Amino acid sequence: MVDLALDAGHGGIDPGVVGPTGLMEKECNLYIAKKCEEILKNQGVTVKQIREDDNFLNLSERVQIANDAKAKYFFSIHVNSADVDTAHGTEAYVLAKGGEGEKLAREVLDHVVEATGLADRGVKFANFVVLRDTDMPAVLLEVCFISNSAEESLLRDDDFKDKISLAICKGFLNYIGKPYKNSVNAQPINTLTPIILKPSALKDQVKQWAKNNNATPTFISLADLYWDLYSSHGEVNPVVAYAQAALETGYGKFGGKIDEGYKNPCGLKTSTARDDSPSAHIKFNTWEDGISAHLDHLALYAGASGYPKGHTKDSRHFPYLLGKVKYVEELSGNWAPAQDYGVRVLKLMFDIQETIIKENFESSTNAAGSNVNNSLVGKDGSNTDDGNNVVDIKSNLDKISNGIESLKSHYGNVYSSIDELEKFISEKDIQITKLINENSELQSKIIIYEEVIENILNIISQRIKK
């Protein structure tokens, strides 16, 4: 008898669904199932892991293992996919309305949605084998859409998968009446991404990233102002603000309600704005003003110390906003109505962190003493002043070699999945040939039987005539 059977969907020759850059569902499923097992064991819950590694089990074998273990509950972990790349969010399936499964699924989904900021697609009903044939209340979770490149890149991030796993466990533990305890044995798990944090990437990294995404030259140079200003504006992580500005302005191309002339990188409105017209938006005199307002607005939301400020360029510096949004994930529904707004900013931040610097970027501003200069080469081209540049070069080299390592492992994965697919196809070929042979045997038997029946009918009709 165990408390929970965990079923990592797919495996072995069956990769499950595959994302646009080749991430395989089976890997994500196994990672999350294993992480859940680790968390739950630390909470004193007994777990039966149905698929321990990358092997293939059919659906009835999975059901059998759970039933044999007399598990009290059953979770099957999957990742979703759709033909349209805009589909996103998380959902759960249970067999029927009104059962224990539905309540359990709702509890787990609530936790996942709250912890990740993913869209809630609700509890659905389906006659899946693993839901129908299991003896215990069973839930099949579809976390994220691997077909959506933003969510695929989140799924590549172990911190993100840890977050999902912890949320699943918290939901389950709540349901069985043993709420999650921060035990000393439990590994600390990073849950949400704070807005106030030291810069999570190098300035040249965000410039390279902006350039890779065809940002305008003006937008690329705004990174200097974000880096010069963040420390005097609530210590907001400038990467959060810059990623958000990229999202709001289309990497400086604007093309929405306002144009570049507004020098308003985050679409900030006037204090009395009632609609979304251009005149409802603030027009700043300088980029420094526009960026200061952006950082002050984020710092206010994040509850930075010294906020709300007496003097600010932020036109909507309303005291009631103080501390309302401490984490990037919570920007959804607060800064913008879209339910995936925070996740989209987060996705850009992950992309920035993975960017490898290939070019030298000049700083367009150089506020004296305001900041560390992250350029590879100082303004005058010297690298002898204080050793900072050597440190930067070393950390950039480390990043490059990390990048090469991850590319290598990526290609390794691609090759091994091609091998597996070829194996899978050749096995299918063998099965098809077998089926064709069996079919022709059956055909010839049918002919023989038809002849026999004809003979019998002939005999009968002759007898009747007699």
- Taking CB under 5 A as the binding criterion, the range among 5-13, 177-185, 287-295, 425-433 that sits at the site for Zn ion is 5-13
Q: Does 313 bind Zn ion (CB under 5 A)?
A: no
Which residue number, 78 or 344, has a Cβ lying nearer to Zn ion?
Answer: 78
- Taking CB under 5 A as the binding criterion, the range among 77-85, 91-99, 165-173, 332-340 that sits at the site for Zn ion is 77-85
Residue written as token pair 């996705």: 347
CB of residue 29 to Zn ion, shortest distance in Å: 7
CB of residue 48 to Zn ion, shortest distance in Å: 20
* CA-based radius of gyration for the chain: 29
CB of residue 203 to Zn ion, shortest distance in Å: 41
Q: How far apart are CA 354 and CA 372, in angstroms?
A: 21
Contact 103, 40 (CB under 8 A): no
User: Which residues are bridge partners to 196 per DSSP?
Assistant: 236
Taking CB under 5 A as the criterion, the residue among 11, 16, 19, 252 binding Zn ion is 16
Which residue number, 79 or 154, has a Cβ lying nearer to Zn ion?
Answer: 79
Catalytic: which of 25, 142, 151, 152?
142
Number of residues that bind Zn ion (CB under 5 A): 3
Q: How far apart are CA 33 and CA 39, in angstroms?
A: 10
Q: Does 171 bind Zn ion (CB under 5 A)?
A: no
Peptide bond into 308 cis (omega under 30): yes
CB of residue 361 to Zn ion, shortest distance in Å: 43
Q: How far apart are CA 176 and CA 108, in angstroms?
A: 11
Q: Which residue is nearest to Zn ion (CB)?
A: 78
Q: How far apart are CA 53 and CA 351, in angstroms?
A: 29
Taking CB under 5 A as the criterion, the residue among 9, 11, 117, 234 binding Zn ion is 9
Q: Does 62 bind Zn ion (CB under 5 A)?
A: no
Q: How far apart are CA 32 and CA 165, in angstroms?
A: 6
Q: How far apart are CA 138 and CA 105, in angstroms?
A: 9
Q: Does 48 bind Zn ion (CB under 5 A)?
A: no
**Which residue from 153, 152, 80, 154 is spatially nearest to 115, judged by alpha carbons?**
154
Which residue number, 80 or 193, has a Cβ lying nearer to Zn ion?
Answer: 80
Tell me the CA distances in angstroms from 77 to 5, 92, 107, 130, 140, one per residue in order: 11, 10, 15, 11, 6
Residue written as token pair 């998380």: 90
Contact 269, 282 (CB under 8 A): yes
CB of residue 9 to Zn ion, shortest distance in Å: 4
- Taking CB under 5 A as the binding criterion, the range among 2-10, 34-42, 218-226, 348-356 that sits at the site for Zn ion is 2-10
Amino acid, single-letter form, for residue 18: V
Q: Give the contact letters, 424-453, x = binds to Zn ion (CB under 5 A), - = no.
A: ------------------------------
Residue 103 corresponds to which tokens in the numbers above? 């309540």
In three-state secondary structure terms, 335 is coil
- Taking CB under 5 A as the binding criterion, the range among 7-15, 294-302, 319-327, 426-434 that sits at the site for Zn ion is 7-15
Taking CB under 5 A as the criterion, the residue among 35, 48, 51, 78 binding Zn ion is 78
142 noted as active-site residue: yes
- Taking CB under 5 A as the binding criterion, the range among 1-9, 66-74, 182-190, 300-308 that sits at the site for Zn ion is 1-9
Total length of the chain: 466
- Taking CB under 5 A as the binding criterion, the range among 78-86, 169-177, 332-340, 420-428 that sits at the site for Zn ion is 78-86
Q: Does 11 bind Zn ion (CB under 5 A)?
A: no
CB of residue 316 to Zn ion, shortest distance in Å: 44
Q: How far apart are CA 453 and CA 243, in angstroms?
A: 78
Extended beta strands in 273-401, E state:
none
Q: Which helix (H) or strand (E) holds 421?
A: helix 388-465
Q: How far apart are CA 155 and CA 23, in angstroms?
A: 8
Which residue number, 78 or 269, has a Cβ lying nearer to Zn ion?
Answer: 78
**Which residue from 116, 124, 117 is spatially nearest to 165, judged by alpha carbons?**
116
Residue 124 backbone dihedrals phi, psi, to 5 degrees: -120, 170
Which residue number, 9 or 89, has a Cβ lying nearer to Zn ion?
Answer: 9
Which residue number, 16 or 252, has a Cβ lying nearer to Zn ion?
Answer: 16
Site residues (CB under 5 A) for Zn ion, limited to 366-395: none
| Phi-psi region at 5: left, alpha or beta (left = phi > 0; alpha = psi -120 to 50) | beta
CB of residue 25 to Zn ion, shortest distance in Å: 5
Which residue number, 11 or 16, has a Cβ lying nearer to Zn ion?
Answer: 16
Q: Does 106 bind Zn ion (CB under 5 A)?
A: no
CB of residue 78 to Zn ion, shortest distance in Å: 3
Catalytic residue IDs: 142
By the criterion CB under 5 A, which residues form the site for Zn ion?
Answer: 9, 16, 78
